[in-house]
A and B are shown apart, each in its own frame.
Chain A
Amino acid sequence: MTGAVLEIERLRLEIDGAAVVDGLSLSVRQGEIVALVGESGCGKSLSAFAVLRLLPDAVTLAGGRIVLEGRDLASLDLAAMAAVRGRDASIIFQEPTASLDPLMPVGEQIAEALTAHGVATPRVAMQRAREMLVSIGISDPDRRLRQYPFELSGGMCQRIMIAIALICGPRLLIADEPTTALDVTIQAQILHLIKELVTARSTAVLLITHDMGVVADMADRVVVMYAGRVAETASAEAIFKAPLHPYTALLLASIPHAALAPKSRLATIEGTVPRPSSHGTGCRFASRCPLVEDKCRRETPPLVNHGDGHEAACWRSHDVGMLGVPA
Chain B
Amino acid sequence: MSQPVLSVENAAVHFRSRGGFLRKAGPALKAVDGVTLSVQAGETLGLVGESGCGKSTLANAILGLVPLVGGTITVAGREVRSDDAESLRAIRGDAQMVFQDPALSLNPRLSVGAAIGEPLQVRGLAKGAALRDRVAALLTAVGLEADHASRFPHAFSGGQRQRIVIARALALQPRLVICDEPVSALDVSVRAQILNLLVDLQRDTGMSYLFVSHDLSVVRHIADRVAVMYLGRIVEIATMAVLFGKPRHPYTQALLLAAPEPDPVRQRAKARRILEGELPSAANLPPGCAFNTRCPIATDICRKDAPLLVARKDGAMVACHHAED
Of the stretches B20-28, B79-87, B112-120, B265-273, the one at the interface is B265-273
Q: Judging by beta carbons under 8 Å apart, are B50 and A237 in contact? A: no
In the complex, the chain B residue whose C-beta lies closest to that of A259 is B263
Q: For A237, give its contact among B193, B216, B265 (CB under 8 Å).
A: B265
Of the stretches B54-62, B67-75, B252-260, the one at the interface is B252-260
A324 to B157, CA, bound (A): 28
A171 to B214, CA, bound (A): 35
Chain A residues numbered 236-292 whose CB sits less than 8 Å from any CB in chain B: 236-237, 240, 250-252, 254-258, 260, 262-269, 272
Chain B residues numbered 103-160 whose CB sits less than 8 Å from any CB in chain A: 157
Q: Judging by beta carbons under 8 Å apart, are B222 and A250 in contact? A: no
**Chain A residues near B222 (CB, 8 Å)?**
256, 262-263
Q: Judging by beta carbons under 8 Å apart, are B278 and A272 in contact? A: no
Tell whether A187 is near chain B: CB-to-CB under 8 Å. yes
Q: Judging by beta carbons under 8 Å apart, are A256 and B220 in contact? A: yes
Chain B residues numbered 237-277 whose CB sits less than 8 Å from any CB in chain A: 240, 244, 254-255, 257-268, 272, 274-275
Smallest CB–CB gap between A290 and chain B, Å? 13
Q: For A188, give its contact among B187, B266, B268, B275 (CB under 8 Å).
A: B275
A191 to B270, CA, bound (A): 14
Q: Judging by beta carbons under 8 Å apart, are B195 and A257 in contact? A: no
Q: Judging by beta carbons under 8 Å apart, are B218 and A256 in contact? A: yes
Smallest CB–CB gap between A110 and chain B, Å? 20
Of the stretches A101-109, A140-148, A207-215, A310-318, the one at the interface is A207-215
Q: Judging by beta carbons under 8 Å apart, are B278 and A216 in contact? A: no
Tell whether A184 is near chain B: CB-to-CB under 8 Å. yes
Q: Judging by beta carbons under 8 Å apart, are B278 and A155 in contact? A: yes
Q: Judging by beta carbons under 8 Å apart, are A255 and B272 in contact? A: no
Smallest CB–CB gap between A3 and chain B, Å? 23
Tell whether A156 is near chain B: CB-to-CB under 8 Å. yes
Smallest CB–CB gap between A186 and chain B, Å? 7
**Chain A residues near B321 (CB, 8 Å)?**
none
Tell whether A319 is near chain B: CB-to-CB under 8 Å. no
**Chain B residues near A216 (CB, 8 Å)?**
260-264, 266-268
Q: For A186, give its contact among B157, B217, B260, B278 (CB under 8 Å).
A: B278
Tell whether B3 is near chain A: CB-to-CB under 8 Å. no
Q: Mark A118-142, 1 if CB is under 8 A from B, else 0.
A: 0000000000000000000000000
Q: Judging by beta carbons under 8 Å apart, are B265 and A189 in contact? A: no
Tell whether B192 is near chain A: CB-to-CB under 8 Å. yes
In the complex, the chain B residue whose C-beta lies closest to that of A255 is B262
Q: Judging by beta carbons under 8 Å apart, are A187 and B189 in contact? A: no
Tell whether A192 is near chain B: CB-to-CB under 8 Å. yes
How many residues of A are in contact with the other chain, CB < 8 A? Answer: 44
**Chain A residues near B257 (CB, 8 Å)?**
188
A255 to B257, CA, bound (A): 18
Tell whether B191 is near chain A: CB-to-CB under 8 Å. yes
In the complex, the chain B residue whose C-beta lies closest to that of A38 is B187
Q: Judging by beta carbons under 8 Å apart, are A267 and B192 in contact? A: yes
In the complex, the chain B residue whose C-beta lies closest to that of A260 is B221
Q: Judging by beta carbons under 8 Å apart, are B268 and A251 in contact? A: no
Tell whether A2 is near chain B: CB-to-CB under 8 Å. no
Q: For B189, give its contact among A39, A155, A219 (CB under 8 Å).
A: A39
Q: Judging by beta carbons under 8 Å apart, are A213 and B195 in contact? A: no
Q: Judging by beta carbons under 8 Å apart, are B214 and A266 in contact? A: no
Tell whether B299 is near chain A: CB-to-CB under 8 Å. no
Looking at A250, A260, A262, the one whose CB has the most chain B CB atoms below 10 A away is A262
| Residue ranges of A at the interface with B (Cβ–Cβ < 8 Å) | 39-40, 153, 155-156, 183-189, 191-192, 210-217, 219, 236-237, 240, 250-252, 254-258, 260, 262-269, 272
Given contacts A187-B260, A262-B221, A268-B192, 20 further A-B contacts (CB under 8 A): A39-B187, A183-B51, A184-B259, A185-B50, A185-B254, A186-B50, A213-B259, A213-B260, A214-B260, A216-B261, A216-B263, A217-B260, A217-B267, A237-B264, A256-B217, A256-B220, A260-B221, A265-B196, A265-B199, A268-B196
| Residue ranges of B at the interface with A (Cβ–Cβ < 8 Å) | 50-51, 157, 187-189, 191-193, 195-196, 199, 214, 216-218, 220-224, 240, 244, 254-255, 257-268, 272, 274-275, 278-279
Q: Can you list the 10 inter-chain pairs with the closest CB atoms, starting with the nearest?
A: A213-B260, A256-B221, A254-B192, A266-B192, A188-B258, A183-B50, A212-B262, A269-B189, A39-B187, A217-B260
